[in-house]
Amino acid sequence: MKYYKDHYDVIVIGGALAGLSSALMLADKGKDVLVLERHNLPGGIATSFVRGGIEMEATLHEMMSIGSKKNRLKVGQFFDDMGVDIDWLKVPEAYHASLPGLEVTLHPGYKTFAREIDAAVPGSYSKVLHLMHLCYRVFNSVNELSIHPMSKPMMLLKHTEFVKTAGYSAKEVIDTFELPEKAVDLLAPYWIYVGSPLSELPFTIYAVLMADYIGWGSYVPRKFSHEMALKMAERAEAMGVQIEYRQEVEKILVANGGVYGVRTARGDEIHADYVISGAYPNKVYTSMIEPASEVPEKAIRQVNARRLSLTAFSVVMLLDREPEELGIRDYSIFSGDTMDTDELYEDLTGLGPYRYLTTICLNYANPDAVPKGMTSLSITTLPRADGWKTVSAEDYDRVKHEVAKQMIDDMSKYFGVNLLDHIVEIVIETPMTVNRYAGAWNGGIYGYTHRMEDHIIARLQTGDEERLIRGLEFAGAHAISGNGMGPAVTNGRKAAKNVLDAMAKEAEK
Ligand SMILES: Cc1cc2nc3c(=O)[nH]c(=O)nc-3n(C[C@H](O)[C@H](O)[C@H](O)COP(=O)(O)OP(=O)(O)OC[C@H]3O[C@@H](n4cnc5c(N)ncnc54)[C@H](O)[C@@H]3O)c2cc1C
């Protein structure tokens, strides 16, 4: 029996969140889709692992853009629309900030959030609320404009605050509120989830992030992030998508400036009119296009011009006591010895000691995540790849353990308990793990950094010019929206939409 059909409408490289979102949307429109995944499981970084018979979340802290059942946001709505039924659990708080002179737990809801900041920094309520409302209006504009592009005069008329703030960094806009420094510190912790210091982070991105997380709160799937991938893959197959695992795509076949298929590591040549790549553009343009002479010169300039965003170092632990017995009281703790994000960003270039940590205790959102009497705790930092590229194979184990030990010691001090005495299972994930496991370029988890000159708004404007090989689209954290699992879903949908638009244009000819 033949393994593959003679021809597909679309081949998707990578069965993670972005690729599976593309596949679902294309299958929903009746297209014939093949997904090729190099791993033996779907999900990529959205995964879990089993240690000592217990399943543990490998990565996810929190998903944005889900919303409640009655009031879905775009990612939650997409899952519902596609018939992917995820058992979402709401995360109980926004975050606990442990910063110099501040120990504050903040909850979602703009007024609640402003009130709680005001309790820690008296006099800041109305300014914080005003800022949150500004974020909300910008968030609404971004959502509307990404679906209904409009003329510049109309945009000026209807989306004044979006237009007024689009050219400024988060720092520049926040500074206009003249808030006390400590209040600004409490407004900054999520910066790490978009990987740019506030001075470089476009306000538009900050606004969307804050409006979404603080307005609706965040969610996690009951069966860990892998629940999303497994259910998406199952639904895609039910809709007719062919998914093949352990099939690495080595080459994307191109002739006369357009794709016509792929070749796998097994040697299968498979044909399609469109290819959606979950592999990073850096990898595609430097080693996957066949023949290499079909790589446009502009493609190399393009990937060189972009700055890769952050990678991850995470210590995932199963502990032998309930959280309360270990002094762990919050779901999510951002801790650091400063909230100067420029300083912290510089610090992420090295190999530690890392000064800004994110600690997640899954029990508080998902009490059944681990057996009774135990705690699921992860401590994460999101370094830049630069430092890790200097680590030799001989030094890797030592460096990895030193960094993990420092992070465990720091959080042990914070909780007032020696976590080392309570570890039942421990897994240390490094940038190399991410690189090896998901094939992510330099172990990147967020694609390319959002900067003033290169972020979603600029990328929306240049989207057509960036399509350098006919029929080739990219879907992954490295695509237009960047940053994380929710945006990966959005990126997958956008790639599928581009393909559907191109197909419609072809049909008109
Ligand atoms: C420790 C950690 C914590 C995180 N926490 C959060 C969080 O709390 N919230 C959040 O939103 N995000 C979080 N992220 C980031 C998030 O996981 C990623 O941004 C997102 O999952 C990326 O999804 P993706 O679809 O782009 O692809 P990836 O997950 O990178 O997967 C790419 C897929 O393509 C496959 N592939 C690659 N090349 C080929 C090839 N040549 N042939 C076939 N298959 C190929 C890979 O095997 C993989 O399945 C975290 C990441 C880490 C590491």
Q: What is the pLDDT of residues 192-206, one digit of tens each?
A: 999 999 999 999 999
Q: Verify whether ligand 1 is closer than 6 Å to residue 434 (CB atom).
A: yes
- Alpha helical stretches, state H, 241-359: 281-283, 297-305, 341-347
Query: Domain tally for the chain?
Result: 3
Residues spanned by the domain of 134: 106-214
Q: Identify the CATH number of the domain in which residue 270 sits.
A: 3.50.50.60
pLDDT at 264: 98
pLDDT band at residue 144 under the 50/70/90 scheme? confident
Cβ count near 169 (within 10 Å)? 22
Mean per-residue pLDDT of the chain? 95
Closest atom of ligand 1 to 429 CA is: 1
Indicate whether 61 pLDDT > 90: yes
Q: Are residues 116 and 176 in the same domain?
A: yes
Q: pLDDT-based confidence at 152, cuts 50/70/90?
A: confident
Contact 416, 103 (CB under 8 A): no
**Can you give the pLDDT at residue 247?**
97
| Protein residue whose Cα sits closest to atom 5 of ligand 1 | 60
Q: Is residue 78 part of a domain?
A: no
Q: Is the CB of 326 under 6 A from ligand 1?
A: no
The residue whose CB lies within 8 Å of the most ligand 1 atoms, and thus the one to mutate among 314, 485, 493, 494, is 485
What pLDDT was estimated at residue 1? 58
Q: Would residue 81 count as lying in a domain?
A: no
In a shared domain, residues 210 and 259: no
Q: Is 108 touching ligand 1 by the criterion CB < 6 Å?
A: no
pLDDT band for position 115 (cuts 50, 70, 90): very high
47 Cβ below 6 A of ligand 1: no
For the chain, give the number of residues.
Answer: 509
Q: 420 with 455, same domain? A: no
For residue range 423-469, what is the model confidence (pLDDT) as tens digits?
Answer: 999 999 999 999 999 999 999 999 998 888 888 777 777 777 788 99
Query: Whose Cα sits closest to atom 2 in ligand 1?
Result: 59
Decide whether any atom of ligand 1 lies within 6 Å of the 440 Cβ: yes
Q: Are 201 and 272 part of one and the same domain?
A: no
Q: What is the pLDDT of residues 71-114, one digit of tens each?
A: 999 999 999 999 999 999 999 999 999 999 999 999 999 999 99
Nearest CA to ligand 1 atom 12: 484
* Structural domain includes residue 16: yes
Q: Which two tokens stand for residue 261?
A: 């298929």
Among residues 214, 243, 272, the one where a domain terminates is 214
Residue 283 lies in a domain: yes
Domain for residue 335, yes or no?
Answer: yes
Ligand 1 atom closest to Cα of residue 18: 25
Closest Cα to atom 49, ligand 1: which residue?
44
CA 77 to ligand 1 centroid distance, Å: 21
Same domain, 269 and 352: no
Instruction: Say whether both 280 and 243 belong to one domain.
Output: yes
Query: Contact, 209 vs 132, CB < 8 A?
Result: no
Of 445, 472, 478, which is best to mutate to test ligand 1, by the most ligand atoms within 8 angstroms of its C-beta?
A: 445
Separation between Cα atoms, residue 188 and residue 456, nearest integer Å: 20
Residues with Cβ < 8 Å from 294, sequence gap 6 or more? 254, 255, 257, 469
Q: Would 75 be classed as within a structural domain?
A: no
What is the tens place of the pLDDT at every residue in 2-34? 789 999 999 999 999 999 999 999 999 999 999
- Do 328 and 429 belong together in one domain? yes
Which residue's C-alpha comes closest to atom 52 of ligand 1?
A: 59
Residues 263 and 318 occupy one common structural domain: no
Same domain, 112 and 183: yes
Residue 80 belongs to a domain? no
Is 74 inside a domain boundary?
no
Q: What is the pLDDT of residue 215?
A: 97
What's the confidence (pLDDT) of residue 296? 95
Q: Which of 408, 438, 468 is the last residue of a domain?
A: 438
**Local confidence band at 153 (pLDDT 50, 70, 90 cut-offs):** confident
How far apart (Å, rounded) are the C-alpha atoms in residues 385 and 310? 7
**One domain for residues 430 and 466:** no
Neighbours of 158 (CB within 10 A): 13
Distance (angstroms) between ligand 1 centre and the Cα of 62 equals: 14
Distance 429 CA to ligand 1 centre (A): 13
Domain boundary among 438, 462, 478: 438
Which of 248-252, 362-366, 482-486 has the lowest average pLDDT? Answer: 482-486
Whether residue 121 sits in one domain with residue 230: no
SS (H, E, C) 394-446: HHHHHHHHHHHHHHHHHHHHHHCCCHHHHEEEEEEECHHHHHHHHCCHHHCCC
Whether 469 lines ligand 1, by a CB cut-off of 6 Å, is: no
- Tell me, yes or no, whether 157 and 189 share the same domain: yes
E strands of 46-178, at which residues? 48-51, 54-57, 88-90, 95-99, 102-106
pTM: 0.96
